[in-house]
A and B are shown apart, each in its own frame.
Chain A
Amino acid sequence: MRILVVEDDLEAQRYLVNGLKEAGHVVDDAADGETGLTLALSRPYDVAIIDRMLPKLDGLKVVADMREHSNTTPVLFLSALSEVDDRVKGLKAGGDDYLTKPYAFVELLARIDALMRRRSPQSVKTRLQVGDLELDLLTRTAQRAGAAIDLQPREFRLLEYLMRHASQVVTRTMLLESVWEYHFDPQTNVIDVHISRLRAKIDKGFDTALLHTVRGAGYMIRAARPAA
Chain B
Amino acid sequence: MRAPSILRTQAYRIVLVYVAVFAVSVTALIAFTYWNTKRALDAQTDQIIAAEIAGLSEQYQQLGLRGLADVVISRSAHGGPGLYLLANRYKQPIVGNLDAWPGNGEKPNSFVDFDYQRRVENQLETREARGRVFALAGGFNLLVAQDVHERYLTERLFTTTLPWTVGLVLLLGLIGGALMSRNMLARLDQINRTSAEIIEGDLTRRVPVSDAHDEFDALAENLNAMLDRIERLMKGVREVTDSVAHDLRTPLNRLRNRLESVLRHIDPASNQAPEIEAAVAETDQLIATFNALLLIAEADAGVGRGKMAPIDLAPIAEDMAELYAPLAEEKGVGLKIDPAGATMIEGNRSLISQALANLVDNAIKYTPSGGRVTVTALETPQGVELRVADSGPGIPVEERQRVVERFVRLEASRNSPGTGLGLSLVAAVARLHDARLILEDNTPGLRAIIRFPRPAPRAR
Which of B249, B257, B354 has the most chain A CB atoms inside 10 A of its CB? B257
B353 x A80 contact (CB < 8 A) = no
A190 x B323 contact (CB < 8 A) = yes
Instruction: Give the residues in chain B near A183, CB-CB below 8 Å.
Output: 350
The number of chain A residues with a CB under 8 A from chain B is 37
- For residue A224, CB closer than 8 A to chain B, the reply is no
Interchain nearest-CB distance for A182 vs B (Å): 5
Instruction: Give the residues in chain A near B365, CB-CB below 8 Å.
Output: 188
A196 to B327, CA, bound (A): 11
- With A12-B257, A53-B246 known as contacts, the answer to whether A84 contacts B350 (CB < 8 A) is yes
Instruction: Give the residues in chain A near B361, CB-CB below 8 Å.
Output: 186-188, 190
Which chain B residues numbered 333 to 388 have a C-beta less than 8 Å away from chain A?
348-351, 353-354, 357-358, 361, 364-365
Residue among A80, A83, A105, A190 making CB contact with B257, cutoff 8 Å? A105
- For residue A1, CB closer than 8 A to chain B, the reply is no
Q: Mark A135-146, 1 if CB is under 8 A from B, else 0.
A: 000000000000
Residue among B249, B260, B322 making CB contact with A105, cutoff 8 Å? B260
A53 to B295, CA, bound (A): 19
Instruction: Give the residues in chain B near A206, CB-CB below 8 Å.
Output: none
> What residue of chain B has the Cβ atom nearest to residue A103's Cβ?
B253
B260 x A12 contact (CB < 8 A) = no
- For residue B330, CB closer than 8 A to chain A, the reply is yes
A104 x B350 contact (CB < 8 A) = no
- For residue A119, CB closer than 8 A to chain B, the reply is no
A82 to B293, CA, bound (A): 11
Instruction: Give the residues in chain B near A22, CB-CB below 8 Å.
Output: 264
Residue among A82, A88, A104, A194 making CB contact with B256, cutoff 8 Å? A104
Interchain nearest-CB distance for B333 vs A (Å): 13
> What residue of chain A has the Cβ atom nearest to residue B249's Cβ?
A80
Instruction: Give the residues in chain A near B327, CB-CB below 8 Å.
Output: 188, 190, 193
Instruction: Give the residues in chain B near A185, CB-CB below 8 Å.
Output: 288, 291-292, 354
Which of A103, A182, A196 has the most chain B CB atoms inside 10 A of its CB? A182
Instruction: Give the residues in chain A near B245, CB-CB below 8 Å.
Output: 80-82
Interface size class of B (residues with CB under 8 A): 35 or more
B323 x A180 contact (CB < 8 A) = yes
Instruction: Give the residues in chain B near A106, CB-CB below 8 Å.
Output: 260
Residue among B258, B263, B295 making CB contact with A82, cutoff 8 Å? B295
Which chain B residues numbered 304 to 340 have a C-beta less than 8 Å away from chain A?
304, 307, 319, 322-324, 326-327, 330
Instruction: Give the residues in chain A near B30, CB-CB below 8 Å.
Output: none
- For residue B240, CB closer than 8 A to chain A, the reply is no
- For residue B92, CB closer than 8 A to chain A, the reply is no
Q: Mark A98-142, 1 if CB is under 8 A from B, else 0.
A: 001111111000000000000000000000000000000000000
- With A184-B357, A194-B326 known as contacts, the answer to whether A85 contacts B261 (CB < 8 A) is no
- With A15-B254, A82-B298, A216-B277 known as contacts, the answer to whether A184 contacts B249 (CB < 8 A) is no
Instruction: Give the residues in chain B near A188, CB-CB below 8 Å.
Output: 327, 361, 364-365
B326 x A197 contact (CB < 8 A) = yes
- With A9-B250, A186-B357, A193-B327 known as contacts, the answer to whether A180 contacts B319 (CB < 8 A) is yes
- With A82-B298, A187-B357 known as contacts, the answer to whether A182 contacts B319 (CB < 8 A) is yes
- With A102-B252, A105-B260, A187-B422 known as contacts, the answer to whether A84 contacts B348 (CB < 8 A) is yes
- For residue A21, CB closer than 8 A to chain B, the reply is no
Interchain nearest-CB distance for B346 vs A (Å): 15
Residue among A11, A100, A186, A216 making CB contact with B323, cutoff 8 Å? A186
B350 x A184 contact (CB < 8 A) = yes
> What residue of chain B has the Cβ atom nearest to residue A179's Cβ?
B323
A216 x B280 contact (CB < 8 A) = yes
- For residue B294, CB closer than 8 A to chain A, the reply is yes
A184 x B353 contact (CB < 8 A) = yes
Instruction: Give the residues in chain B near A53, CB-CB below 8 Å.
Output: 246
Interchain nearest-CB distance for B53 vs A (Å): 104
> What residue of chain B has the Cβ atom nearest to residue A194's Cβ?
B326
> What residue of chain B has the Cβ atom nearest to residue A78's Cβ?
B253
Residue among B254, B294, B326 making CB contact with A190, cutoff 8 Å? B326
Instruction: Give the residues in chain B near A80, CB-CB below 8 Å.
Output: 245-246, 249-250, 253
A100 to B264, CA, bound (A): 21
Instruction: Give the residues in chain A near B303, CB-CB below 8 Å.
Output: 84-85
A22 to B351, CA, bound (A): 37
Interchain nearest-CB distance for A114 vs B (Å): 19
- For residue B287, CB closer than 8 A to chain A, the reply is yes
Which chain B residues numbered 257 to 314 have a C-beta less than 8 Å away from chain A?
257-258, 260-261, 263-264, 277, 280, 283-284, 287-288, 291-292, 294-295, 298, 303-304, 307
Q: Mark A183-218, 1 if CB is under 8 A from B, else 0.
A: 111111010011011000000000000000000100
A52 to B162, CA, bound (A): 82
- For residue A25, CB closer than 8 A to chain B, the reply is no
Instruction: Give the residues in chain B near A182, CB-CB below 8 Å.
Output: 319, 323, 349-350, 353
Instruction: Give the residues in chain A near B236, CB-CB below 8 Å.
Output: none
Which chain B residues numbered 157 to 192 have a C-beta less than 8 Å away from chain A?
none
B322 x A154 contact (CB < 8 A) = yes
Instruction: Give the residues in chain A near B252, CB-CB below 8 Å.
Output: 101-102
A15 x B357 contact (CB < 8 A) = no
Interchain nearest-CB distance for A15 vs B (Å): 5
A51 to B120, CA, bound (A): 113
The 24 listed contacts between A and B (C-beta, < 8 Å) are A18-B261, A19-B257, A19-B264, A22-B264, A80-B250, A80-B253, A81-B242, A82-B294, A83-B295, A101-B252, A102-B256, A104-B256, A105-B257, A105-B261, A180-B323, A182-B353, A184-B353, A186-B323, A187-B418, A188-B364, A190-B324, A190-B361, A216-B263, A216-B280
- For the complex with contacts A102-B256, A106-B260, 4 further pairs of A-B residues with Cβ separation under 8 Å are A12-B253, A12-B254, A101-B252, A190-B326
Name A residues whose Cβ lies closer than 8 Å to a Cβ of B: 9, 11-12, 15, 18-19, 22, 53, 80-85, 88, 100-106, 154, 180, 182-188, 190, 193-194, 196-197, 216
Task: Please provide the 6 A-B residue pairs with the shortest distance between their CB atoms, ordered closest to farther.
Answer: A184-B354, A102-B253, A193-B326, A80-B249, A101-B253, A102-B252
